[in-house]
């Protein structure tokens, strides 16, 4: 007898943990979880909940509503105010923990009120390799990650989404706007709006995979490697510079390394590596 596939494990976990509240961002990961939950449990035993606040765009909430409706799922959008969370606006390295701890606590309350057994999110196996302080908040509050626990990583999620016929199976990931800022750079509504408007303009130019990384008065633009020549083309370049200056940036730079998810975590990894090397050198000395 062959071992169960990742999809079989996922469906088994969903049945075991149901009824479910799904922390639903509208991204590919949580959409797969929601689709499988509705398939296995029925729409009446599943509730998708989407947070919409300071670090999210209106487009994200609208897309989540549309996707949930297409899947026939019950859906609730809750208003959040991340900048009001103590310590969050200072943007410390555990910023994500502070936010997730607050959000998951609200989801647990909703699940209890709705008589839903388990709160689940869209975390996948590959997320565990990156710096994800929000995972600690999930563990503390009993939030489960069925994709990760079924052994499904990013590539597996997209493959499954395609098999399930989800139209947005290849949609680029879109983490919260706070992820565009280096740790320690304070967060304000105005700064978050600059990033959101800048990225909206880039997408309008056809640069669908993009980030505006905020470095004070400098916007560092990341696009897919194949789109770097497009962004550097004279008319596109001028349009980008003009619009980003209009939203408040003074300097605009194109990152020649291209887009990479979690790019601002590179600084943390560099510090950790230097610290490790320094400790090793001291031991040898």
Give the CATH number of the domain where residue 201 resides.
Answer: 3.30.300
Please state, in angstroms and rounded to a whole number, the distance separating the CA atoms of residues 128 and 274. Answer: 22
Q: How far is CA 204 from the centre of its chain?
A: 21
pLDDT band at 60 (very low <50, low <70, confident <90, very high): very high
> What's the rounded Cα separation, in Å, for the pair 224 and 259?
5
94 and 206 part of one domain: no
pLDDT digits (tens, 9 = 90+) for 28-53: 999 999 999 999 999 999 999 999 99
Same domain, 19 and 138: yes
Global confidence as pTM: 0.87
Kindly state whether residues 21 and 155 are assigned to the same domain: yes
- In angstroms, the CA 11 to CA 30 distance is 14
Band of the pLDDT at 73, cuts 50, 70, 90? very high
pLDDT at 132: 77
- The answer on 205 and 72 residing in a single domain is no
Residues of the chain above pLDDT 70, percent: 91
Is 233 in the same domain as 196? yes
76 and 210 belong to one structural domain: no
Query: pLDDT confidence of 266, banded at 50, 70, 90?
Result: low
Residue 145 maps to which CATH number?
Answer: 3.40.50.620
147 and 15 assigned to the same domain:
yes
Domain membership of residue 273 (yes or no) is no
pLDDT for the residue numbered 281 = 45
| pLDDT-based confidence at residue 170 (cuts at 50, 70, 90) | confident
Q: Is residue 280 a part of any domain in this protein?
A: no
- 269 occurs within a structural domain: no
Per-residue pLDDT at 263: 58
Residues 105 and 135 in one domain: yes
**136 shares its domain with 185:** no
Count of CA atoms in the C-beta half-sphere (13 A) of 87: 10
- Asked if the structure places residue 274 within a domain, the reply is no
**Angle at CA of residue 63, ends 15 and 253, nearest 5°:** 120
Reply yes or no on whether the pLDDT at 175 is more than 70. Answer: yes
Find the domain containing 193 and state its range.
177-264
186-228 pLDDT, tens digit per residue, is 999 999 999 999 999 999 999 989 999 999 999 999 999 999 9
- Domain assignment of residue 171, yes or no: no
pLDDT over 90 percentage in the chain: 81
Within this chain, do residues 196 and 256 fall inside the same structural domain, yes or no?
A: yes
What is the number of structural domains in the chain? 2
Instruction: Reply yes or no on whether the pLDDT at 137 is more than 60.
Output: yes
Q: Which residues contact 41 (CB under 8 A, 6 or more apart)?
A: 14, 15, 18, 19, 20
pLDDT recorded at residue 104: 97
Choose one of 119, 140, 163: the last residue of a domain: 163
pLDDT at 209: 92
Q: Would the pLDDT of 22 be above 90?
A: yes
Structure confidence by residue, pLDDT tens digits, 93-126: 999 999 999 999 999 999 999 999 999 999 999 8
Whether residue 185 is found in the same domain as residue 249: yes
Which one of 163, 191, 220 terminates a domain?
A: 163
**pLDDT value at position 1?**
53
Indicate if the pLDDT at residue 282 is higher than 50.
no
Measured between its terminal Cα atoms, the distance across the chain in Å is 56
């Amino acid at each position: 007898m062959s071992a169960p596939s990742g999809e079989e494990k996922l469906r088994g976990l969903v049945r075991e943990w149901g009824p479910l509240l799904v922390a639903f961002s509208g991204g590919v990961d949580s959409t797969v979880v929601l689709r499988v939950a509705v398939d296995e449990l029925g729409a009446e035993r599943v509730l998708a909940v989407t947070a919409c606040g300071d670090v999210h765009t209106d487009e994200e909430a609208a897309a989540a509503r549309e996707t949930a409706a297409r899947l026939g799922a019950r859906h609730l959008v809750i208003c959040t105010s991340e900048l009001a969370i103590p310590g969050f606006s200072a943007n410390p390295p555990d910023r994500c923990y502070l936010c997730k701890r607050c959000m998951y606590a609200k989801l647990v309350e909703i699940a209890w009120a709705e008589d839903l057994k388990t709160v689940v999110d869209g975390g996948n196996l590959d997320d565990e390799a990156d710096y994800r302080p929000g995972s600690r908040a999930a563990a503390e509050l009993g939030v489960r990650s069925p994709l990760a626990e079924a052994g499904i990583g990013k590539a597996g999620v997209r493959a499954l989404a395609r098999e399930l016929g989800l139209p947005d199976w290849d949609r680029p990931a879109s983490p919260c706007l706070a992820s565009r800022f280096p740790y320690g750079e304070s967060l304000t509504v105005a700064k978050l709006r600059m990033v959101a408007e800048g990225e909206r303009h880039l997408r309008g130019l056809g640069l669908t995979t993009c980030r505006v990384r905020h470095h004070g008065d400098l916007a560092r633009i990341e696009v897919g490697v194949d789109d770097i020549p497009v962004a550097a083309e004279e008319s596109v370049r001028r349009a980008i510079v003009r619009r980003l200056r209009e939203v408040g940036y003074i300097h605009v730079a194109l990152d020649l390394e291209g887009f990479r998810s979690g790019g601002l975590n590179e600084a943390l990894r560099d510090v950790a590596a230097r610290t490790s090397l320094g400790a090793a050198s001291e031991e040898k000395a």
